[in-house]
Structures are given as structure tokens and as C-alpha cells.
């Protein structure tokens, strides 16, 4: 950051909760349906229709809250956020305001600044405050493309209206765009991990807004903040924040003021643009939603949800380090995604070789997965098959190069390690009698070298090994070859 | 011709004929009602209301015919679904003959705020029927139907019942599902019943009450068989008499009539105890903050985007909102939206809305303290008899103040019934209001029924079906 300045960033995340039906009615939340087909009087906001809370949304909200270190409040209140927009059928959004579902979260994330190539410099833990996670409904969508006479008409699709969202708000605790970036990735993984949300930014079921201001190091107050919207990927978000930090610092250094406003990230021009000024900001006139009683959850219910939670990634990472002797970096990478972490742990247990498993999965399997653009859960390789391969390697039945080739084939075909090894004829020859025969042939053919060796030229031992390996077409177990050669010579 | 069809045809004839004078109905659906009559005639199922003609206030959704809320903005709006109360009535064999006129979006105390013309009081055509459920009250008073549904946010059933000389109950909040009732003040609105007799009221209330999965504010409290408890003893029932409410602003004739009614109750075995409701005077102020706040939000959906009226000749979004709502809503609705928007605005919220909610809580304690001393409380329903058309239209505040006796029941969520208890010298009905604690509808109906039997009112209104 430019000398003497620091950034002050707070994040707001909207995550769609993975319910089958909407938060206040029984309409499906399925994606990609005919416009306005997933609707009913409630989510259309027809006169006289009333909301009824979907308990599944509360359960998933609770999982999300617990995964992010928030405290669940036994009593929370739904509130109406009033504003006019065509995609908002009731003229208000049912949200929560002064009594949110959960609050007072403390979350530790791993974060690192990046070098010029975008590579992490040094991972460090960072603790941030999560102010609240509350439940609310999503709005519909205005559609301006691909329909007749879009120059004259706007179209509205209300399929999304009423989809349950968790809004997650942090304190202004981030000091760089990469911290915000690592935070959002942490949240995405946490929500996916506990099954609360698909948290896929490309599909729009995770949306971010960043509140950005800058100040001189040492200042304790806040300068006017800018709200950034239209951040359609974590990368765009990071770039938008970075741009905004520099824009604000430069403005102050020119002696200008920064005004409080909402700005959009312009993907094409790599800059932020004004969307609305403070004067145009809405007065949302929040008040308690009279159609819904207070949301009350018992201590017992909260305990039950806690008990049903899977082991969280950070705890799993620490356990991998402790139980399996993995490095922090390896363990951290293994818990980057739940299916990968589970795959690893199963493989480690089945093969009995946690470290070989980690090495193989992180180097070979991840490369295959990245190339194919899929997750391990979507691949043809199971932990059982992977463990089989690890064992073959551990028992020296195949060598490293062969193991890589076998894995590639397994990945492609879904065959077992044994099958591939057999097909490729990779099985290592460790049978002493077979190797003795090969050794004898080599001794016979190379009488001169044998004589040299026996005279004391120990250096040419490697030559004999090479000859035996060659004769075995590379399949002989080098260890056995060594032993037999030493005995025979 | 089938019996039910014959009966319904007569009712429809009466409704159509008298509507030219009263304007009590916005829609009389003859075709639908007759078809329904024929279906019922052939049905093996005989519900509690088999073949009973009923009128329904036009803010309760009916899927077969328009539901206008007496507003231009919903003039041609036909709902996709039936309100829960409508479903319940139909399941018991009722025949809904039409939709009744009202103050636009139930905002008003005189029915002069209807976009489709005022309703006239059958007792005196120059006077208002009360509001906002004036059409339902007038239809019952004129004998067109024995029962009608209304809604009551601050007195909208009880006050017109009083002005038209019929029985009208507003149940405990949560007693009757609000699903399909077009919202005005969601924490205050409750559907209720008008009847020519207490028994009529009890029969219908029994059918429409009860928990509804589609209304999260409806209560899971068992529904008694009101009709079976109507004739139970009232001896020893303690009636609270809030003397301080019988002072300033109360018409002398109304005052003496209600005091007489309380004495009448004593003469048939009720016990009278004096009580005090010191905070009731704040009711109007609190009510017009909370009701308008909720209304400003509830009416936001009428924006011309999805259904209802949309202004013509508009070229951009804001203009469409402004023009649609300017042309679609009447003056009183706009006044209340503005009031409600104001009291919720940042900077004013604490001084108005938040404070009103605090006083509302205090009012609840006030009533609970009173109910330690008595079973029910009797007050006038309205400080005056029905006033003349146009008398208060230029003075909205005077109109608001006339709701002084009724609004608190909605604020504290308790039930109340208006019982005809006399006529003024000019021959206009006077109603007393009996308020009870939560879920005390059965007791209110018993008291109403006893009064009706012992102190009947024989007079009929000027406009009455059997006269011709």
C-alpha cells in the first residue's frame, strides 16, 4: 500500500441456502426453470397472501452460523425492508434487522499477501469479527436480454423471489484486498462444507459486497466508505477493492475528498463506476414483520444442530498434521474442499500410508483433477482404488514413474490399479529365481567385465545392474537385483 | 325448481333491487350463486351452512370474481385463490352471493372513502352506514342476507354494526385466518361476522375460526362450539363499567342508552364493577401510528408492475410508480400511506413507531389489570349515532376520533362485539360494545344473546326487504 495509508474493508456476503423450497412458501428453488413458473400467491406478493417460515432454511442458517463461529440467538425478529423495485413483488423484502438470527462471531482465517505473479507470500492466521448472519428472502430478476422488444419492455422473472439467503456481515477488519479475498474463499468453503449453500459465485448463489475506505495509519476514525457491488467472482472482487483503495488514496493525495456512494465494478474497463450517491440512498424504513411471529429456537435445538455438524476444515487440518505427520501446507491443501479431505483420509486409512497418500493425491491426483476441471467426488477414482495404488507403490511392486502412468490410466478409465498394472505389464519382478536366471545370463555374456569387477573394479557394479534391468525390461525389483548380483559376483 | 335455488334467487333479486338505493354491493354474482345453489341441491353433503346466503366484504379474496378493496387500483383484479375463510364457508355449504362495498382498503369510518360510491344507511338514507365494512352492515341491516363477513382493523365491524343496528363481532387476533384478507394493518386486522341475530353470528364464527397453516399469526387454540354455548347462564358474569370513558365527547343519548343497557344486564343477573382504563385515551394516537405504518408497507405492492391498475402514457419506472399510485389510490389511502411512511422514516421512528409500540404494550397491561376485576367491559361502540353523509369528510381528525372506543381492542388483540341496545329519538340504532379477554368469544356471544332475548329491538330500518 502507498506510504502511510491503510485500507479499511468490511464484507457483506449473501449466500443462497440449499433448501428444496423457498423461505416463505412451498415453491421449488430449482434453477433454470421457465420464467415465473416457480411462483405462487405468496412469492408473487399477491394481495392477502402471507408468509410462513420454512424451517429447513433456519436449520441451514444455523449450520452456516456455527461454521463461521457465530452465536445463534434464541429469539430473532423478521423485519420488513421497504423499497420499490420491479423485482421486489411486495414492495418490501422480509429480512432481519435489529434482532438477527445470529451475531457476535469470531472467525480465524488463513491469509497471505500475493507477489507479482499472484503467488501467496506467507500464510498467516487472521482473526476477524463477524457482526451478524441473518435470514432473508431473495428478490426476483429483471431480464433485459433475449426477449422480444427489449428496447421497449422490461421483463421480470420471479422464480428467484423468496429464495432463502443468509446475509453475513463482517466488521471493517480487513486491511487489504487479499485478506478480503481469502475471507470470501474461507466462507465459501465453510458453507459448502456444512451443506448450507452451494456458494457458487458464477451461478449467483453467493454474492459479495465490499465496503471500502482508506485512512492514514494511526487514524482511529473512519473516512467515508464506498460500497462496491457487481462483484461477480472472487477475483473481480479483489481487483475492484484494489482499484478502489488506490482510487481513494490518489484522490486524498490530490487534496480531493472521497464521497460516500455505491460503485459498480466495470469488468470491461477494469475500474469502478458510480451507481448511486449518498443522497439517493434508500431509507428502508425497517420495522418488525407483523405477519411472522418471532423466530424462537431452544438451547436444545442449537445443541442438536451442533452435534450434527461435520468436523470443520480447520480442525481437520490440525488433526491431519498431528495424526498423519503432514506439513501445514499439505494438510491445508487437502482440506481446501470437503470431498478431497474425505478422499484423502479414506485413502490414508485404507493404504496405511498417510504420507505417501498425501504426496500422491496432492501432486498427481490434483493435477489430473485440475486438468479435467472436476472435483474428486466427480472423478472415477475412489479412495479404495487409490489406496490399492498407494500399496503397490509402497510395496515396491511398481516404481514412481509407473505409478504416475497407472494413476493417469485409472483416472481416464476408472479401472483398478491392479488391472492397469497387469495390462501394462508393469508388475515388478521380485522373484529371486527369475532374477538369478537373468543375472547368470548377464554374467555369462559379460565375462570381461566380470573379471574386472572381481579384480577389484567395484565401480562397474552399476553396469551389471543396468544390464539386468534391461534384460527384465525394467520390471525387475532393483533391490533384489542388487542382492542377487552381489552374491553371484 | 330446487329449494336452494329458489331461495338464492330471491336473495339475489332483493340484493339487486336494494343495491340501487344502498350501494351495499360492489359485485353481485348471480350466475355464480345460482350455479352454486344447484350444486348444493344435488350434493349429498350437508354442511353447517348448507344453502345459507352470505355476503363477503370486498377485501376478502374470491377466485371466481373480482376483489377490489373498493379501490381503483384493484378495480378489475381477480385473485388466483380463495381466502381461507371463503374456503371454510364453501366447505360448509354457504352461498356467497356477492362482495360488499367498503372504505377503500378498509380505511375509513363512514364508507365515504369507497372509489365506487358511498353506501347508504338503511335506517336513514342521508346517513352513513359506518365503516369500513359499511356494505356488509347495510346488507344485513336491510335483511338482504342474515350474515356477512367483514374485517376489523380499528372498529370496522363493530362501528358499522352499531350504526346499522346489527350484531358484529371482531374476534381475538389470531382466532380467524387472515390468509386472503387484503392487508391494511397486519397486526390489527381480523376477519369477523355481522349477523341479524347473535345466533347467526355464532354459526358463522364457528365455521371460520381456527388455526390455519397458511397464516403464521393464527393461533392453535381450540374453537368452542359457540352455538351450543349461546344459552348458557350469564348470572354472576362480572361486567366492568369504565365510568371515566362515559364523559367528554360522548353523545348524551348514547351515554344514557348504554348506561341503561348496563343496568339491564344487572337486572338479569350480571354483576357490575367499576373499572379504570387510564391509558385508553392514548389508543387513537397509538392506533393511527401503527395502522398507518403497517399500511404504508402493505400497500407498497400496488405499483402497477404485476397486477391491478397501471397509469397510461408513462415512459419510465419512477413515473409509472408515481402516476399509478397517484391515480389509483383515493385521498384517504394516500394520506395514511404518507403518515405511515413518515412515522417509519429514519429520525422519526423512535419518536413515533417505537414509542407507539411501547404504549401498545402498556395498553395490554392496562386491560389485563382490568380483567383481573371483571370478565367483560362495556362501552359505547361509537360516541354518536350514524352521522350525516358529508358531515365529517372535511375533518379527518374528527373522523379518527370517533374510533376512540373501538381501536384499543385491536391494539391489545382482544375480541369485541357490538350489540344493538336501543334507538335514538330520531330512530337511529345505538350499539354497545362488549370487550372480553383473549379467546372469550363464547362469553361475548352468550351475553349478546341474553341481551337480545331479554331486551329485543322490534323496529326495522326504512329500507327493508319485506316491505315490498
Kindly provide the ipTM of the predicted complex, given to two decimals.
0.96
Provide mean pLDDT across the span A256-285. Answer: 89
Q: Is the pLDDT of residue A473 over 80?
A: no
Spatial distance between the Cα atoms of B384 and B392, rounded to a whole number of angstroms? 12
The answer to the question of residue B454 being in a domain is yes
Q: Do A52 and B181 touch (CB under 8 A)?
A: no
* CA B149 – CA B97 distance, rounded (Å): 12
Least confident piece of the model among A13-27, A280-294, B207-221: A280-294
Interface residues of chain B, partner chain A, Cβ below 8 Å: 59-61, 67, 69, 74, 77, 79-81, 83, 178-183, 185-187, 213-217, 293-294, 296-297, 299-301, 303, 305-307, 317, 321, 341, 344-346, 349, 353
- Tell me how long chain B is: 468
What CATH number is attached to the domain comprising B198? 3.90.1300.10
Select the residue of A47, A86, A283 nearest B305 (Cβ to Cβ): A86
Rounded Cα distance, A349 and A387, in Å? 8
* Chain B touched by A294 (CB under 8 Å): no
Instruction: List, in order, residues 6 or more apart from B243 with CB less than 8 Å away.
Output: B274, B276
B156 is catalytic: yes
Residue A275, helix vs strand vs coil: strand
Residues of chain B in contact with residue A41, where contact means CB-CB under 8 angstroms, are 79-81
Helix, strand, coil % (nearest 5) of chain A? 40, 20, 40
Give me the pLDDT at residue B467, please. 42
Beta carbons of B404 and B383 less than 8 angstroms apart: yes
Catalytic residue (choose from B151, B156, B413, B440):
B156
Distance between CA atoms of residues B205 and B238, nearest Å? 24
**Are B69 and A47 a contacting pair at CB < 8 A?**
yes
Per-residue b or e along B72-100, where b marks 16 or more CB atoms closer than 10 Å to that residue's CB = bbbbebebebbbbbbbbbbebbbbbbbbb
- Phi, psi (degrees; rounded to nearest 5) at A5: -105, 150
Taking only residues 153 to 192 of chain A, the set having a beta carbon closer than 8 angstroms to any beta carbon of chain B reads: 156
CB contact under 8 A, A291 and B61: no
Nearest to A91 among B215, B300, B353 (CB): B300
pLDDT digits (tens, 9 = 90+) for A272-298: 999 888 777 789 999 999 999 999 999
Q: Which domains does chain A have, with CATH numbers?
A: 5-300 (no CATH), 311-424 (no CATH), 432-488 (1.10.10.410)
Q: Is A317 helix (H, G, I), strand (E, B) or coil?
A: helix
Residue A103 clears pLDDT 80, i.e. is over it: yes
In the predicted structure, residue B137 carries a pLDDT above the cut 70:
yes
Nearest residue on chain B to A86, alpha-carbon basis? B305
Q: Kindly state whether A109 is in contact with chain B, defined as any CB-CB distance less than 8 angstroms.
A: no
Q: SS in 3 state form for B372-394?
A: HHCCEEEEECCCCCCCECCCCCC
Distance (Å) from the alpha carbon of A350 to chain B's nearest alpha carbon: 51
- Whether residue A332 is predicted with pLDDT greater than 80 in this model: the reply is yes
Please answer whether residues A177 and A241 qualify as being in contact, where contact means their C-beta atoms are separated by less than 8 angstroms: yes
Across the interface, do A48 and B183 touch by the CB < 8 Å criterion?
yes
Phi, psi of B271 (to 5 degrees): -105, 135
If one counts every other C-beta atom within 10 angstroms of the C-beta of residue A405, the result is: 15
Asked if A46 lies within 8 A of B307 by C-beta distance, the reply is: yes
| Residue B1 pLDDT level (bands cut at 50, 70, 90) | low
Q: Do A290 and B187 make contact, defined as CB atoms within 8 angstroms?
A: yes
**Given an 8 Å threshold on Cβ–Cβ distance, is B217 in contact with A290?**
yes
Span A136-159, average pLDDT: 91
Pairing mode, if any, of strands B429-436 and B376-380?
Answer: antiparallel
Does A44 sit within 8 Å of B179, measured CB to CB? no
Quick: pLDDT tens for B234-249. Answer: 999 999 999 999 988 8
B100 in a domain, yes or no? yes
Mean pLDDT across chain A: 92
Chain B residue with CA closest to A52: the answer is B216
Residue A454 in this model has a pLDDT that exceeds 70: yes
Q: How confident is the model over A395-452, as pLDDT tens digits? A: 878 877 888 888 988 998 989 888 888 887 777 777 788 888 888 888 888 888 888 8
**Residue B25, in any domain of the structure:** yes
Q: What is the pLDDT of residues A43-87, one digit of tens each?
A: 999 999 999 999 999 999 999 999 999 999 999 999 999 999 999
Check pLDDT > 70 for residue A356: yes
The three three-digit cell numbers of residue B336, written as one number:
395514511
Render A387-438 in DSSP notation, one character per residue.
HHHHHHHHTTSS-HHHHHHHHHHHHHH---HHHHHHHHT---B--HHHHHHH
pLDDT for A137 = 98
Count of Cβ atoms closer than 10 Å to residue A126 Cβ:
18
Task: With respect to residue B330, please indicate whether it lies within any of the assigned structural domains.
Answer: no
Q: Cα separation of B116 and B112, whole Å? A: 9
Kindly state whether A142 is in contact with chain B, defined as any CB-CB distance less than 8 angstroms: no
Active site residue B218: no
Identity of the residue in B79, B83, B217 whose CB atom sits nearest the CB atom of A291: B217
pLDDT in tens, B346-372: 999 999 999 999 999 999 999 999 999
pLDDT for A470 equals 83
B72 falls within a domain: yes
- Give the one of A49, A82, A291 whose C-beta lies nearest to B216's C-beta: A291
CB A184 within 8 A of CB A208: yes
Put simply, whether A90 touches B (Cβ < 8 Å) is yes
**H or E element that contains A228:** strand A226-231
Gap between the Cα atoms of B312 and B321, Å rounded: 11
Q: A213 and A258 in contact (C-beta within 8 Å)? A: yes
CA atoms within 13 A on the CB side of B295: 29
> In the prediction, which pLDDT does A440 show?
86
What's residue A340's pLDDT?
Answer: 94
Query: Of the listed B71, B110, B114, B132, which one is catalytic?
Result: B132
Find the domain containing B429 and state its range: 3-278+366-463
pLDDT at position B178, please? 98
Measure in Å the smallest separation between the Cα of A294 and chain B Cα atoms: 10
Mean pLDDT of A354-373: 92
For the cut 50, the answer to whether the pLDDT of residue A180 exceeds it is: yes
- Assigned C-alpha cell, A389: 495404488
CA A46, A52, A53 angle in degrees (round to 5)? 135
Of A44, A48, A91, the CB nearest to B179: A48
Angle between the B30-41 and B3-22 helix axes, to the nearest 10 degrees?
160
- Range from A96-105, A169-178, A466-475, B133-142 carrying the lowest mean pLDDT: A466-475
* Domain-embedded: residue B165: yes
Strand partners, A16: A165
Q: Residues A35-45: what's their mean pLDDT?
A: 97
Q: Which of B67, B187, B344 sits opposite A285 (nearest CB)?
A: B344
Asked whether the beta carbons of A59 and A19 are under 8 A apart, the reply is no
pLDDT of residue A400: 79
Size of interface A-B (CB pairs under 8 A): 100
Report the number of distinct structural domains present in chain B: 1
* Cβ–Cβ contact A80 with B under 8 A: yes
- B132 is known as an active-site residue: yes
**Residue B229 preceded by cis peptide, ω within 30:** no
Q: β-pairing, B190-195 with B167-170?
A: antiparallel
Quick check: B409 and B381 in contact, CB under 8 A? Answer: no
Q: How far is A85 from chain B (nearest CA, A)?
A: 9
Name the pairing type of β-strands B238-241 and B376-380.
parallel
By C-alpha distance, the chain A residue nearest B80 is: A41
Pick A283's closest partner by Cβ from B186, B217, B346. Answer: B346
Residues B61 and B83: beta-carbon distance below 8 Å: yes
A430 in contact with B at a CB cutoff of 8 Å?
Answer: no
Residue B307 lies in a domain: no
* C-alpha cell of residue A353: 500410508
Taking the C-alpha atoms of residue A219 and residue B286, their distance in angstroms, rounded to an integer, is: 46
Give the pLDDT of residue B406: 97
Contacts of residue B396, defined as CB under 8 A and 6 or more positions apart, other chains included, come to B332, B335
B190 chain-A contacts, CB cut-off 8 A: none
Q: CA of B183: which chain A residue's CA is closest?
A: A48
- Identify the band that residue B468 occupies on the pLDDT scale cut at 50, 70 and 90: very low
Amino acid at each position: 500500500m502507498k506510504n502511510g495509508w491503510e485500507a479499511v474493508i468490511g464484507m457483506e456476503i449473501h449466500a443462497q441456502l440449499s433448501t428444496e423450497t423457498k423461505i416463505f412458501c412451498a415453491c421449488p428453488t430449482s434453477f433454470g426453470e421457465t420464467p415465473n413458473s416457480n411462483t405462487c400467491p405468496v412469492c408473487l406478493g399477491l394481495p392477502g397472501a402471507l408468509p410462513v417460515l420454512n424451517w429447513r432454511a433456519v436449520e441451514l442458517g444455523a449450520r452456516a452460523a456455527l461454521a463461521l463461529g457465530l452465536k445463534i440467538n434464541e429469539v430473532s425478529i423478521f423485519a420488513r425492508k421497504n423499497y420499490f423495485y420491479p423485482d421486489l413483488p411486495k414492495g418490501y423484502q422480509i429480512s432481519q434487522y435489529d434482532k438477527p438470527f445470529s451475531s457476535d462471531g469470531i472467525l480465524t482465517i488463513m491469509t497471505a499477501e500475493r507477489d507479482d505473479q499472484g503467488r501467496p507470500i506467507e500464510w498467516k492466521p487472521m482473526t476477524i469479527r463477524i457482526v451478524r448472519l441473518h435470514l432473508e428472502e431473495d428478490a426476483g430478476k429483471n431480464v433485459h436480454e433475449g426477449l422480444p422488444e427489449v428496447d421497449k419492455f422490461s421483463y421480470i422473472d420471479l422464480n428467484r423471489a423468496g429464495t432463502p439467503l443468509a446475509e453475513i456481515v463482517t466488521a471493517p477488519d480487513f486491511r487489504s484486498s487479499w485478506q478480503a479475498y481469502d475471507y470470501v474463499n474461507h466462507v465459501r468453503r465453510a458453507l459448502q462444507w456444512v451443506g448450507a449453500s452451494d456458494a457458487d459465485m458464477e451461478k449467483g448463489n453467493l454474492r459479495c459486497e465490499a465496503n471500502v475506505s482508506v485512512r492514514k495509519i494511526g487514524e482511529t476514525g473512519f473516512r467515508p466508505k464506498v460500497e462496491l457491488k457487481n462483484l461477480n467472482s472472487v477475483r473481480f472482487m479483489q481487483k475492484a477493492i484494489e482499484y478502489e483503495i488506490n482510487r481513494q488514496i490518489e484522490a486524498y493525495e490530490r487534496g480531493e475528498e472521497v464521497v460516500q456512494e455505491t460503485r459498480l465494478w466495470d469488468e470491461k474497463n477494469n475500474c469502478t463506476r458510480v451507481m448511486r450517491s449518498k443522497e439517493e440512498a434508500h431509507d428502508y424504513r425497517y420495522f418488525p414483520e407483523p405477519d411472522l411471529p418471532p423466530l424462537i429456537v431452544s438451547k436444545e435445538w442449537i445443541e442438536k444442530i451442533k452435534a450434527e455438524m461435520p468436523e470443520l476444515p480447520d480442525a481437520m487440518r490440525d488433526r491431519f498434521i498431528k495424526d498423519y505427520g503432514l506439513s501445514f501446507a499439505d494438510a491445508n491443501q487437502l482440506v481446501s474442499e470437503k470431498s478431497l479431505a474425505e478422499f484423502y483420509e479414506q485413502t490414508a486409512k485404507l493404504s496405511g500410508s498417510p504420507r505417501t497418500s498425501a504426496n500422491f493425491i496432492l501432486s498427481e491426483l490434483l493435477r489430473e483433477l485440475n486438468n479435467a476441471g472436476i472435483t474428486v467426488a466427480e472423478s472415477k477414482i475412489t479412495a479404495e482404488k487409490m489406496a490399492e495404488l498407494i500399496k503397490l507403490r509402497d510395496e515396491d511392486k511398481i516404481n514412481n514413474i509407473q505409478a504416475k502412468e497407472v494413476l493417469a490410466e485409472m483416472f481416464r478409465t476408472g479401472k483398478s490399479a491392479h488391472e492397469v498394472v497387469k495390462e501394462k505389464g508393469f508388475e515388478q519382478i521380485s522373484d529371486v529365481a527369475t532374477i538369478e536366471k537373468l543375472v547368470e545370463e548377464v554374467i555369462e555374456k559379460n565375462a570381461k567385465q566380470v573379471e574386472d569387477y572381481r579384480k577389484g573394479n567395484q565401480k562397474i557394479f552399476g553396469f551389471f545392474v543396468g544390464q539386468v534391468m534391461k534384460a527384465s525390461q525394467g520390471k525387475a525389483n532393483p533391490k533384489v537385483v542388487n542382492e542377487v548380483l552381489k552374491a553371484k559376483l | 325448481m330446487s329449494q336452494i335455488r329458489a331461495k338464492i334467487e330471491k336473495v339475489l333479486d332483493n340484493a339487486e333491487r336494494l343495491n340501487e338505493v344502498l350501494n351495499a354491493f360492489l359485485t353481485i354474482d348471480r350466475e355464480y350463486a345460482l350455479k352454486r345453489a344447484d350444486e348444493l341441491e344435488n350434493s349429498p353433503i350437508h354442511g353447517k351452512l348448507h344453502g345459507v346466503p352470505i355476503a363477503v366484504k370486498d377485501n376478502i379474496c374470491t377466485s371466481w370474481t373480482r376483489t377490489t378493496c373498493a379501490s381503483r387500483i384493484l378495480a378489475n383484479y381477480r385473485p388466483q385463490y380463495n381466502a381461507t375463510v371463503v374456503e371454510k364457508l364453501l366447505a360448509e355449504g354457504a352461498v356467497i352471493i356477492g362482495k360488499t362495498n367498503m372504505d377503500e382498503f378498509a380505511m375509513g369510518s363512514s364508507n365515504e372513502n369507497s372509489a365506487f360510491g358511498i353506501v347508504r344507511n338503511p335506517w336513514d338514507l342521508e346517513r352513513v352506514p359506518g365503516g369500513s365494512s359499511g356494505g356488509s352492515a347495510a346488507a344485513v341491516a336491510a335483511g338482504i342476507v342474515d350474515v356477512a363477513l367483514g374485517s376489523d382493523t380499528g372498529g370496522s365491524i363493530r362501528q358499522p354494526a352499531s350504526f346499522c343496528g346489527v350484531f358484529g363481532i371482531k374476534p381475538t387476533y389470531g382466532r380467524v385466518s387472515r390468509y386472503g384478507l387484503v392487508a391494511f394493518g397486519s397486526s390489527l386486522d381480523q376477519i369477523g361476522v355481522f349477523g341479524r341475530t347473535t345466533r347467526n353470528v355464532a354459526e358463522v364464527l364457528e365455521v371460520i375460526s381456527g388455526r390455519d397453516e397458511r397464516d403464521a399469526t393464527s393461533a392453535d387454540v381450540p374453537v368452542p362450539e359457540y352455538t351450543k354455548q349461546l344459552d348458557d347462564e350469564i348470572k354472576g358474569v362480572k361486567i366492568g363499567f369504565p365510568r371515566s370513558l362515559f364523559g367528554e365527547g360522548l353523545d348524551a343519548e348514547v351515554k344514557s342508552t348504554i348506561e341503561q343497557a348496563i343496568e339491564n344486564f344487572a337486572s338479569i343477573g350480571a354483576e357490575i364493577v367499576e373499572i379504570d382504563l387510564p391509558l385508553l385515551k392514548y389508543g387513537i394516537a397509538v392506533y393511527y401510528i401503527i395502522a398507518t405504518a403497517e399500511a404504508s408497507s402493505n400497500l407498497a405492492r400496488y405499483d402497477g408492475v404485476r397486477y391491478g391498475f397501471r397509469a397510461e402514457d408513462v415512459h419510465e419506472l419512477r413515473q409509472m410508480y408515481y402516476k399509478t399510485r397517484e391515480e389509483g389510490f383515493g385521498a384517504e389511502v394516500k394520506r395514511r400511506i404518507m403518515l405511515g411512511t413518515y412515522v417509519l422514516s429514519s429520525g422519526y421512528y423512535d419518536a413515533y413507531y417505537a414509542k407507539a409500540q411501547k404504549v401498545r404494550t402498556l395498553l395490554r397491561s392496562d386491560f389485563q389489570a382490568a380483567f383481573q376485576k371483571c370478565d367483560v367491559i362495556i362501552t359505547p361502540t361509537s360516541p354518536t349515532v350514524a352521522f350525516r353523509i358529508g358531515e365529517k369528510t372535511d375533518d379527518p381528525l374528527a373522523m379518527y376520533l370517533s374510533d376512540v372506543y373501538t381501536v384499543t381492542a385491536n391494539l391489545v388483540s382482544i375480541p369485541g362485539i357490538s350489540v344493538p341496545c336501543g334507538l335514538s329519538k330520531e330512530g337511529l340504532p345505538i350499539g354497545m360494545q362488549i370487550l372480553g379477554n383473549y379467546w372469550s368469544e363464547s362469553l361475548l356471544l352468550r351475553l349478546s344473546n341474553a341481551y337480545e332475548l331479554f331486551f329485543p329491538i322490534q323496529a326495522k330500518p326504512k329500507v327493508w326487504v319485506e316491505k315490498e
